[in-house]
Amino acid sequence: NAGVTQTPKFRVLKTGQSMTLLCAQDMNHEYMYWYRQDPGMGLRLIHYSVGEGTTAKGEVPDGYNVSRLKKQNFLLGLESAAPSQTSVYFCASSEREVWGYNEQFFGPGTRLTVL
Amino acid sequence: TQLLEQSPQFLSIQEGENLTVYCNSSSVFSSLQWYRQEPGEGPVLLVTVVTGGEVKKLKRLTFQFGDARKDSSLHITAAQPGDTGLYLCAVNQMYSGGGADGLTFGKGTHLIIQP
């Protein structure tokens, strides 16, 4: 099992460009998440999905869109990149929660720089 | 206001020493998780604590959940260079429109164990 994989690992964009980050998991998990990690801010939830065809907003959703067309994939899109979106992006997945919590499995991250 | 306050932010000690890091909040939680993140990788779950006063041990790591379920500590005995990393505490956070919980993280403690 590869677990959670993310592509690409690194990307440099110019302001205004668009791109899509791909997350794939092979654990048959229902839930998937996108986080961003910034120095001094920690990890923050952008969007998440509770199943194929569903998406919902997290703490910092502005400027991002997501899609979950297949259970194993969760896409994060930036329509018009801004320097404030320079960050490391992590995808995670988990099974349905049990007793109000679950273990999230994280991918290795995508380091994005917007010039 | 940060939901989870972690201290210290940075800690550098010699191999063989003991240490404790803290995760504090004014809110009550049904559960709390500790993750470790190594450079260039995503966080990995170490433990979940769910009962006030609960103590869990993972080899040389001891985790405690406060009696009031507002805080937690991580104690490492005889620290090793392999313990170096970013230690994050996290709690489930409900977001509107969902059915799953994303995680809210503290900013973490950067731990360096020098040989």
From chain A, the residues in CB contact with B40 under 8 A are 108-109
d(CA B46, CA B23): 15
Is the model more confident about A112 or about B100? Answer: A112
Written as tens digits, the pLDDT of chain B (115 aa) is 678 999 999 999 999 999 999 999 998 888 899 999 999 999 999 999 989 999 999 999 999 999 999 999 999 999 999 999 999 999 887 654 444 568 899 999 999 999 9
> Which residue in A50, A96, A108 is closest to B41 by CB distance?
A108
Q: What is the pLDDT of residue B98?
A: 43
Q: What's the burial of A83, exposed, middle or buried (CB within 10 Å: 0-12/13-18/19+)? A: exposed
Tokens of B48: 């979940």
- Given a cut of 70, is residue A54 above it in pLDDT? yes
Answer yes or no: are the C-beta atoms of B86 and B36 closer than 8 Å. yes
- Given a cut of 80, is residue A27 above it in pLDDT? yes
Q: What is the pLDDT of residue B99?
A: 46
A and B: number of Cβ contacts within 8 A = 86
Contact assignment for A92 to B42 by CB distance below 8 Å: yes
Q: What is the pLDDT of residue A40?
A: 84
Write out the DSSP string of chain B. Answer: --SSEEE-SEEEEETT--EEEEEE-SS--S-EEEEEE-TTS--EEEEEE-STT-EEEETTEEEEE-TTSSEEEEEESS--GGG-EEEEEEEEEE-TT-SSEEEEE---EEEEEE-
d(CA A55, CA A57): 7
Q: What is the pLDDT of residue A41?
A: 85
What 3 state SS string does chain A have? CCCEEEECCEEEECCCCCEEEEEEECCCCCEEEEEEEECCCEEEEEEEECCCCCCEECCCCCCCEEECCCCCEEEEEECCCCHHHCEEEEEEEECCCECCECCCEECCCEEEEEC
Contact assignment for B95 to A4 by CB distance below 8 Å: no
